[in-house]
């Protein structure tokens, strides 16, 4: 399960971070969405940051990494089977729950990604995360791959 969690979480992080940088680049400030993600950890200090800053942007990347790894862990725990329909159902459930919490709970607090992203961009973020979680679990190595050769030696 560790390989599935790692694969899903890291691929989810790469996809979500890429999407956030792309959304920021479209508006002329590539680092602002990652800085807004740091709002969870450092509060309003992250809201007015437009460019890369060493005290805000790496923390925003860390927040996205931790949340992506958490989503990967939940999907890996929920789907014990490696069958694709079960993985898709588990990832869709986790992503839908995250989207609804973000839309109805986090959007009521000032600042952060909820204040920066539109509803359409938020939907794109969670669809991207869901696809990346499914792909990460499907691409993860099998748990006992290579153990026969090690056991014979």
Number of domains, the chain: 1
Residue at 57 is within a domain: yes
* Cβ atoms of residues 77 and 1 within 8 Å: yes
pLDDT of residue 72: 93
Would you say residue 62 has pLDDT above 70? Answer: yes
Domain that holds residue 119: 2-142
Would you say residue 11 has pLDDT above 60? Answer: yes
Residue at 153 is within a domain: no
Both structure tokens of 116: 């920066």
Alpha carbons 50 and 40: distance in angstroms, whole number: 17
Residue at 53 is within a domain: yes
Alpha carbons 54 and 59: distance in angstroms, whole number: 8
Tokens 């329909």, located at residue: 85
Residue at 149 is within a domain: no
Count the neighbouring beta carbons within 10 Å of the beta carbon of residue 121.
16
Residue at 150 is within a domain: no
**Helices and strands in the chain: count of H runs, count of E runs:** 8, 0
pTM, to two decimals: 0.86
What average pLDDT does this structure show over 123-130?
95
Task: Encode pLDDT of 82-97 as tens digits.
Answer: 888 999 999 999 999 9
pLDDT of residue 133: 94
């Amino acid at each position: 399960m560790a390989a599935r969690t790692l694969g899903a979480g890291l691929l989810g992080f790469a996809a979500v971070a890429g999407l956030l940088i792309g959304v920021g680049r479209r508006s002329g400030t590539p680092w602002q969405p990652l800085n807004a993600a740091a709002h969870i950890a450092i509060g309003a200090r992250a809201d007015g940051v437009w460019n890369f800053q060493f005290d805000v942007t790496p923390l925003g990347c860390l927040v996205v990494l931790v949340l992506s790894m958490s989503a990967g862990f939940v999907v890996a725990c929920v789907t014990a089977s490696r069958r694709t329909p079960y993985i898709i159902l588990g990832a869709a459930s986790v992503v839908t729950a995250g989207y609804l919490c973000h839309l109805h709970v986090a959007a009521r607090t000032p600042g952060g990604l909820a204040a920066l992203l539109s509803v359409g961009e938020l939907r794109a973020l969670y669809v991207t995360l869901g696809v990346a979680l499914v792909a990460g679990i499907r691409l993860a190595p099998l748990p006992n791959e290579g153990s026969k050769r090690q056991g014979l030696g």
